[in-house]
Amino acid sequence: MLQLQKATSELAKTLAEVLESHIKERRGLHSAVLQYLHSNLSTSTATDVFTVPTHEAIRKFIRRLVTRLETTAADDTQSTSTTSATSAASEDDRATEDNQSSESPAMTVEEQMEAAMRQAREVFPSTAQTSLKPQDVSRKIDASIKAEMAVFDSSGQRGRMMEQAYQYLLSVPPTSVEAERAFSAAGVLCTKLRSRLGDDTLDSLAFLRSYYQSAR
């Protein structure tokens, strides 16, 4: 961007303007927070194009992200535990049935389902009785993130939650699908017979083509 802006040619000026407008259109909160988490000097080196959100916006984003990740991990752990307990219960039921097969008739499917659900309720108590209120959890997470951000701004060391959010954002792969799709659509419109279409005309035609395809 800086090299294009320093150049004096008309082509470089046009490329810089187009690149700046496309970056501003596509640069979301995820990439801005990743820029902040990458270095504690990002706020001082931010530009009009590569802006850094306020600390309040960054804190809310990290809180939502960490809460979502921890909830998913807890659900996976509970699902694994439920599967293990169900397997153990099934083995116990089979053993009991084998021992009682000569004395009493086998349980019906309905009775087996009721027994399994009753055992699951006994093994796994309701989370509403053991967990904190959502407001208290949100306040604790906010306080932890605020403390971690203060340490990060002064020393550049990321805490547990900030490191977790940073690693998660790094896992999002970059892609050129959007650019390839635009080139493909432009190639359908700009052919050998229509090779002298202007940029504005081609842009308008590509927009109309995308609009009518999505309206079907």
State how far the Cα of 69 lies from the Cα of 86, in Å rounded to an integer: 26
Residue range 113-147, pLDDT digits in tens: 666 655 544 443 444 444 557 677 778 888 888 89
User: What share of the chain in percent tops pLDDT 90?
Assistant: 9
State the pLDDT at residue 109: 66
**What mean pLDDT comes out for the span 73-79?**
60
- 135-186 per-position pLDDT tens digit: 777 788 888 888 989 989 988 889 888 999 999 999 888 777 877 888 888 8
Q: What is the pLDDT of residue 131?
A: 57
Q: Give the residue from 45, 48, 52, 46 showing the smallest Cα distance to 31.
A: 52
* HEC letters along the chain: CHHHHHCCCHHHHHHHHHHHHHHHHHCCHHHHHHHHHHCCCCCCCCCCCCCCCCHHHHHHHHHHHHHHHHHHHHHHHHHHHHHHHHHHHHHHHHHHHHHHCCCCCCCCHHHHHHHHHHHHHHHCCCHHHHCCCHHHHHHHHHHHHHHHHHHHHHHCCCCHHHHHHHHHHHCCCCCCHHHHHHHHHHHHHCCCCCCCCCHHHHHHHHHHHHHHHHCC
Q: What is the pLDDT of residue 33?
A: 92
**pLDDT score of 200:** 86
Inter-helix orientation angle 177-189/199-214, to 10°: 110
> How much is the pTM?
0.57
Average predicted confidence (pLDDT) for the chain: 77
Task: List the structure tokens of 195.
Answer: 């090779």
Q: What was the pLDDT predicted at 42?
A: 87
Asked whether residue 216 carries a pLDDT value surpassing 80, the answer given is no
Q: Residue 54: is its pLDDT beyond 80? A: yes
Of 84 and 23, which is predicted with more confidence? 23
So what's the pLDDT on residue 124? Answer: 37
pLDDT confidence band for 20 (50 / 70 / 90): confident
pLDDT higher than 70, residue 87: no
